[in-house]
Structure 1
């Protein structure tokens, strides 16, 4: 190989080579001549005037001739100078424009040269140039940067443009390229010379791939880390120092101090002037350059990156066949292994093994959609199930991609369950059960008096999550669980394999820190690759079918990641693992709550409590009766959610004599709440549909009833009573009283917003709950059912009333149909107020009813006072607004439902009572 500098640009098509044209220098203007003819005309004229006039003064005109001659010469000189200045200004503008274009073309040439002949910094900035086949790249080397000939050419111009023309001929700060030849020596201080040699070695290593260049007898660790070290290749490179014996090689790179003898084969010599500048002699030419230097630490990093790239290429190839899992010869191992190593693919010519215990305890698997992430997980799980019995390792598989990737694995005895996002409630419950599994394993270790699972007979549990980002989005509260599991899982034998499309922004640092085993299929962003495997390798994996199943694996002890072709699993592999033997492992969670549970199956509550239903505690792996010992309980739920059933279940456990029902009947409810007397001690009050009841008790009645119920709830402890209330919505009185209850059961609601308004947590909302399914706090409950008839007893109703002996005043706006006629048929004299006059006592046994509306009665105050003081005054319930005005009684009368024959009977000195007109009962009213 010959030496010498290489022409900068042999292919001028890469840059604009059209010549730049400068303006031609302006011609020198001729000297202006003397205008003889113009100058002689005044002289001839003056002589003529003198001859004709004889006046000597005419001769003065002859002086104009010389004056005109002088003026013409001066004017010509001035014009020539102006034209010259204009030409010079135009030339300067052209020169400046050409200068800018020269700089732009030089910048373009510099880019082209650096792309064609990169140094180490160029390769690092553009890693895709590494080992790229470019003409002449393998036989040339960049010595440094300096001035090189330019392809820019300038034509035209004059002496003033000589500097620009010379500047255009040279590109500054461009790669100075030399033929490799047989040797290069760098002469200078030892530290600087060695740094320059390292840069030259790394540049050659980037230009030539392993297999085309071998570094023989590498003397330093960073050289030994190169993938070219001691590998067979047609071209050999060795590195040494002047005075040392050099290995046989095609190219030698030698570091020498000033004055030391150089090997004769070093055709190119770099003399260091200072730490950055050098003089280069090659092929009889000399150039000044700025050299590139690399430290030992930088060399180690760069060499490791080259080794990683080479390793990744070992398993890759356009025609590389798929690897079958069966070809990896996975065999059943011992019952109590120290780890769980299994092969999952091939790396070059060897099997690639991973160990979730030894390399873990937890792993991350990343990869963009379509890269083969699910297939990798299936292969890994199948290999583990083939190699180890269910008594050694078990799995909980979580698929939150909405797919069926793990369905085929469900029949493996190692698999405790396959959870998908299709049933959010089951998924959430099963994952929460992992908290209980943590406590269970801690208890087992404590019981055995050991600190690690390897010392007890417990299978390891591997939780595999496909698409962690979707799980986190659906159940953000579970992230803390996985962080806790990652922190404590090693000793307890619980391991995480987290699959996600990308790690940054999805996995928090404290979770990432506990996952040292990293596997990444192809990712779209180099940042994502570096976050997982510490290099860009995963982003450089090929796309499409060629890259599917290609992964980059980095273990905690690996100096660099390796590229692995993941094996493909088929149904026969899964069937083989299922048939390898072993009993199914213990499931780490209990079955879901039943949709119905009889009360008698839950046993007696004891200690004066009542059982509400069966409570599910997945984080404790426990289900049991939920006993209510509190003094108050609020039950909230929509229509047909099981509110009334819950009250009846509770009432069935209370003696009938101790039950007090406040049902939906407004009159009955008022009779209970409006009396102003608290229930006797030991009573349990049941209020059904409080919000509806509050609506049926208008105005002051509703306010008084709510205040009385509030006194009962607040004073339940002192009164020694219990208050259990059901409501459909927390509006009105129900909303005001809700916070007074010590417990709350939230049953099914039509929407998530109503669930939250009822006091539930939005994350707990389930749209399709069975009747009786609800939440007490964050615990799910199925309300028990009973066949016992413990509901509210029928209301005794109001007494029937009909006119008695004597005079009765009847205040009514519109009498019920047929009532007055019935009274007249039974001998009652019915008179209106206007025609009553002064009512005297009728004959003994006689009955008189005076009828009128409130306004008419108020127009006859004497008649009204007489009847009110000495007789009975009956007011129809529809006249409630006028009761106090008509009776003079400020107390609130018992509530009566208008329009059903209800009325109030007032007698002086007696309590007002609610009655039902007898005639109204016969006409279809009820009591």
Structure 2
């Protein structure tokens, strides 16, 4: 209804403005007129009471003869009386708020807005009705272009064709239909670069995310697109997607330690890509000659992640603010966006997707309209997309058989010879780690694999260099003897005749017996010339268990002076085990220490474990046999020694 129409329908006004008998009838609500009069009366009482009080004060001041106070009270009384007069005038003109007067005062614009809002709501309801009546084709049909949803036999060929024709900078994904039956395509780098998805329970959020990930994987090869899936709903939504060749990590809320590693891995990857961009001298990874694969991070139930890991949200905030130029995109899905997503993160999420919600405020926050509350609960998958051009209705077109589609994508990857991408993070250290790894050689000295070490994100094979002295510190039963036995078992085959390459050292193995120490020497396959021994080119590797007594200055064992000599010799390497750090006497001679925590804070700190590292070690982890920390070059890195069926070191 336009303003001109409002003026045309308004009754003619007389010259004198006064109450009109038809006001209540035109309003259609007599109670509202009575309420208005009551409010006027209360306003007059509220403004008259101060005037009466001030008049009493003036009478008192005049009676007392305090004329200076009278001058101070007169302005206040004048202002109060003026307010009362204004209220009386407004009460006299109150009938102007009738419909005819509102039309004269220009309220037709509000009617125009109401009419426009009604038109938008009608169009929204019509779009939702059309989408609810037509579920549209399945995702397989969109990918194959055949129109038949069950044509899995040739689908992998269409996926290969899509991969070969894909653009490196774009990531389009057809995930649904529009009211005009056209495909809904979302290109994260262009439309995002980050997206926020909202919807109440049962609205189809998990199916929407699954469809989106499958469409992305079917449109881009694994060497151009990688997925990280953070499922904080128990793993039911992303369990199938973990098998995709594009997935470099999938965690759930059931394993928070692994979720922390995933968030730390994201921060490390962000920093790595920053260095790549700086080294290439460009502003965006898309401008690099060999850009890294686009990384899409998908989070289901973001509010659960925020509640369980609040100290790690800064990783996601950094990703949202810096990820656009680094080829990293974030898709966060939550039931409630208000109060869950920080303002800094929300400012970088240009793409808003809202499925059915109950709170109009939540719909307005994402879409600028409450239209998402009108979605029928019986039609999951209906939603609205906001890209800056107003809400656009859509309906998700999920896969008819998601498992079969995953198999087709895997088959396409095998046909193209796609190598699996390197994982962005790995599981934590296992409690039992089977022996693996080969001996490497450096400068004629072997590097012996002893276990896996954990840098907080990835596991790395740890090889002990036979250079310098190494001390193993920890109480009995923690795995020191197993580590020494593993080291001896790796070195003994090298001391046999015909071993290649030939070691440039002799081996000595010493262990405690009931009557002292038992020692055995294993010379190298080829005796060293005298000048090599004098020049230190051929040294000694000494493996020694329970060495605390031999390190005692008062020890009378014949091996004690030999041990002190070996510790001072440049070409010798001593690997020994003691119960406490105090037994080392001169700890500066040991460039490397492997500390097995004993559980007592004071003793572990004295052994060299940093306080911050010690705070992260739980009692259960500290009690795992073979779990220690490698202290070297100012670092403290957890290590799990390989498991062996060896209890003692037997030379």
> TM-score w.r.t. structure 2 length?
0.60
Kindly indicate whether structure 1 or structure 2 has the higher relative contact order, using CA contacts under 8 Å at least 6 residues apart: 2
List runs of 5+ in structure 2 lacking aligned partners.
1-7, 13-20, 41-88, 146-157, 492-504, 517-545, 568-573
Deviations 1:365-395 (A, max 9, x none): 1223222211211222233334444444332
Q: 2:347 aligns with which of 485, 510, 513?
A: 513
Q: 2:616 aligns with which of 761, 772, 775?
A: 761
Which residue of 2 is the match for residue 503 of structure 1? 337
Which residue of 1 is the match for residue 109 of structure 2? 201
Q: 1:581 aligns with which of 387, 404, 412?
A: 412
Please give the alpha-carbon distance, in whole angstroms, between the structure 2 residues aligned to 1:441 and 1:723.
Answer: 34
* Residue 200 to residue 452, structure 1, CA distance change in 2 (3 Å): same
Q: Does 1:353 align with 2:191?
A: no
Please give the alpha-carbon distance, in whole angstroms, between the structure 1 residues aligned to 2:506 and 2:345.
Answer: 55
SS at match of 2:189: coil
SS at match of 2:135: coil
Structure 1 residue 360, shift from structure 2 partner:
1.6
Deviations 1:733-758 (A, max 9, x none): xx4443233458xxxxxxxxxxx999
Structure 1 residue 688, shift from structure 2 partner:
5.6
Q: Does 1:545 align with 2:378?
A: yes
5 Å-filtered alignment, 1:883-894, equals: none
Which residue of 2 is the match for residue 710 of structure 1? 582
Q: 2:294 aligns with which of 450, 457, 460?
A: 460
User: Size of the alignment, in residue pairs?
Assistant: 500
Structure 1 residue 206, shift from structure 2 partner:
0.5
Q: 2:214 aligns with which of 374, 379, 382?
A: 382
Please give the alpha-carbon distance, in whole angstroms, between the structure 2 residues aligned to 1:403 and 1:486.
Answer: 24
Please give the alpha-carbon distance, in whole angstroms, between the structure 2 residues aligned to 1:525 and 1:662.
Answer: 76
Please give the alpha-carbon distance, in whole angstroms, between the structure 1 residues aligned to 2:590 and 2:636.
Answer: 28
* Residue 655 to residue 432, structure 1, CA distance change in 2 (3 Å): farther
Which residue of 2 is the match for residue 569 of structure 1? 399
Please give the alpha-carbon distance, in whole angstroms, between the structure 2 residues aligned to 1:398 and 1:769.
Answer: 30
Structure 1 residue 526, shift from structure 2 partner:
4.6
Does the 8 Å contact 2:385/2:393 carry over to 1?
A: yes
Q: Does 1:397 align with 2:229?
A: yes
Please give the alpha-carbon distance, in whole angstroms, between the structure 1 residues aligned to 2:98 and 2:407.
Answer: 63
Structure 1 residue 484, shift from structure 2 partner:
3.2
Deviations 1:229-260 (A, max 9, x none): xxxxxxxxxxxxxxxxxxxxxxxxxxxxxxxx
Which residue of 2 is the match for residue 7 of structure 1? 22
Does the 8 Å contact 1:616/1:779 carry over to 2?
A: yes
Q: 1:741 aligns with which of 607, 611, 616?
A: 607
* Residue 440 to residue 736, structure 1, CA distance change in 2 (3 Å): closer
Structure 1 residue 447, shift from structure 2 partner:
7.5
Which residue of 2 is the match for residue 625 of structure 1? 463
* Residue 681 to residue 773, structure 1, CA distance change in 2 (3 Å): same
SS at match of 1:586: coil
* Residue 657 to residue 721, structure 1, CA distance change in 2 (3 Å): farther
Does the 8 Å contact 1:716/1:722 carry over to 2?
A: no
Which residue of 2 is the match for residue 781 of structure 1? 639
Does the 8 Å contact 2:195/2:330 carry over to 1?
A: yes
Does the 8 Å contact 2:175/2:397 carry over to 1?
A: yes
Please give the alpha-carbon distance, in whole angstroms, between the structure 1 residues aligned to 2:405 and 2:584.
Answer: 66
* Residue 738 to residue 205, structure 1, CA distance change in 2 (3 Å): closer
Deviations 1:671-708 (A, max 9, x none): 65776468614455855655xxxxxxxxxxxxxxxxxx
Please give the alpha-carbon distance, in whole angstroms, between the structure 2 residues aligned to 1:374 and 1:570.
Answer: 15
* Residue 657 to residue 477, structure 1, CA distance change in 2 (3 Å): farther
* Residue 473 to residue 569, structure 1, CA distance change in 2 (3 Å): same
Which residue of 1 is the match for residue 82 of structure 2? none
List runs of 5+ in structure 1 lacking aligned partners.
18-100, 109-166, 187-195, 212-306, 691-708, 745-755, 794-927
SS at match of 2:236: coil
Which residue of 2 is the match for residue 598 of structure 1? 435
Does the 8 Å contact 1:772/1:782 carry over to 2?
A: yes
Which residue of 1 is the match for residue 570 of structure 2? none
Does the 8 Å contact 2:482/2:649 carry over to 1?
A: no
Q: 2:132 aligns with which of 320, 340, 343?
A: 320
Please give the alpha-carbon distance, in whole angstroms, between the structure 2 residues aligned to 1:490 and 1:757.
Answer: 34
Which residue of 1 is the match for residue 564 of structure 2? 680
Q: Does 1:728 align with 2:582?
A: no
> TM-score w.r.t. structure 1 length?
0.44
Q: Does 1:342 align with 2:173?
A: yes
Please give the alpha-carbon distance, in whole angstroms, between the structure 2 residues aligned to 1:576 and 1:791.
Answer: 50
SS at match of 1:315: helix
5 Å-filtered alignment, 1:366-515, equals: 366-435=198-267, 437-438=269-270, 451-455=283-287, 456-457=289-290, 458-476=292-310, 478-515=312-349
Bigger fraction of residues in helix: 2
Structure 1 residue 357, shift from structure 2 partner:
0.9
* Residue 343 to residue 674, structure 1, CA distance change in 2 (3 Å): closer
Which residue of 1 is the match for residue 73 of structure 2? none
Q: 1:365 aligns with which of 197, 213, 218?
A: 197
* Residue 488 to residue 624, structure 1, CA distance change in 2 (3 Å): farther
Larger Rg: 1
